[in-house]
Amino acid sequence: MSDVEVFSTLNEELERLAAKSKARAIAVAVHDLETGFRFSLLGDRWFHAASTIKVAMLLAIFRAVDEGRLQLDDSLHVRNRFFSVADGSLFHLSPDRDATPELYQTVGRTAKISALAHAMISGSSNLATNLLLDFVGVEYARKVLRDAEVHEVELRRGVEDHAAHERGINNEATANGLVTLLSAIRGDFLTDESKQEVIRILLEQRFNSMIPARLPAHAAVAHKTGEISTACHDVGIVYLPERQPYIAVILTEFEPDRNGRRETVAAISEVIYRSVVGRDPNPNAS
């Protein structure tokens, strides 16, 4: 199939899925590193980034490592106390709203930066994210994104900063921006050592009910999910042994707490696979 045909087929399938899901909005961006094929549906629409912003944080942490600002073996004081970027007010995170509550057991002690980076991604730890952001600083993280020419990912604050949220200060991203971010991770922005470590961390993602869910078992996905009441996202790099990887970004917006959101993202991922790779991911499935 030509790129035009792939584009057209993908577009049609996604529109069908979007209509069926009753999503408020679905944005998809794809970059196939095997063929150079690119696809974007609502790729410039801004979404609340939810936990996908943690990929931007990961890039900032490893850039700081490459610049000698910190070392992965460094220890950081684990403290559940943060200040809002909106008004400097103090806030605490709730373990009940964090996917990695066990990290709260280390409050008062120290944790390695490498362990926090891992927890931030594989376990989507809000506490690890805020600790790392508090340490490197929002301005530094934003500078890293600018230096990497990632212009459509806006990192403005830590997680659960409600005072900032009430004032409309949120982390936001477009699907195209997140493809650029993942491309920066794969490119030469980081040293080879850091790049490999970042991808290894993303590959160890514990939440696999979206992009990887309907892909063949031999697919390895370096990815990060993001969910809040109205948003359900997954962004990642899909590795297949027989070909170069492809980058897939799926951002969705729904009415609050609507069911079937993850299934929609998984179905979109399957459609992307079929279009990019050219075959059914699970041909023997009934």
Partner 1 sequence: MRVEVLRAIDGLDLPEEYRAFLRPGETETDSSRNVHRLPRFFYEVRSWPEAQELRLAPHFTLAELMLVDCREARPLLSQFPHYVPCAIIILARLLEDFRHEVGAPVFIAANGGYRSPAHQIEGAKSIHAWGTAANIYRIGDTFLCDTKSIEKHRTIAASLSPAVFVRPFGREKGQTSDHLHIDLGYVRLTPRECSEAS
Binding stretches for partner 1 (CB under 8 A): 70-71, 74-81, 89-90, 92, 107-110, 113
**Among the listed residues 125, 122, 141, the one whose alpha carbon sits nearest the alpha carbon of residue 133:** 141
**Residue whose CB is less far from partner 1, 131 or 232:** 131
Q: Where are the beta strands (DSSP E) in 170-242?
A: 172-173, 220-227, 231-240
Collect all residues with Cβ–Cβ distance below 8 Å to 283 and sequence separation of at least 6.
Answer: none
Task: Provide the minimum distance between the beta carbon of 136 and partner 1 in the complex, in angstroms, as a whole number.
Answer: 11
Q: Are the C-beta atoms of residues 246 and 275 closer than 8 Å to each other? A: no
**Among the listed residues 244, 243, 247, 218, the one whose alpha carbon sits nearest the alpha carbon of residue 235:** 247
**Residue whose CB is less far from partner 1, 95 or 216:** 95
**Residue whose CB is less far from partner 1, 139 or 257:** 139
Task: Provide the minimum distance between the beta carbon of 45 and partner 1 in the complex, in angstroms, as a whole number.
Answer: 38
**Residue whose CB is less far from partner 1, 180 or 194:** 194
**Residue whose CB is less far from partner 1, 91 or 239:** 91
**Among the listed residues 268, 214, 277, 273, the one whose alpha carbon sits nearest the alpha carbon of residue 15:** 268
Task: Provide the minimum distance between the beta carbon of 57 and partner 1 in the complex, in angstroms, as a whole number.
Answer: 17
Task: Provide the minimum distance between the beta carbon of 89 and partner 1 in the complex, in angstroms, as a whole number.
Answer: 8
Task: Provide the minimum distance between the beta carbon of 124 and partner 1 in the complex, in angstroms, as a whole number.
Answer: 23
Spatial distance between the Cα atoms of 214 and 64, rounded to a whole number of angstroms: 36
Q: Are the C-beta atoms of residues 40 and 33 closer than 8 Å to each other? A: no
Q: Which two tokens stand for residue 261?
A: 């959101």
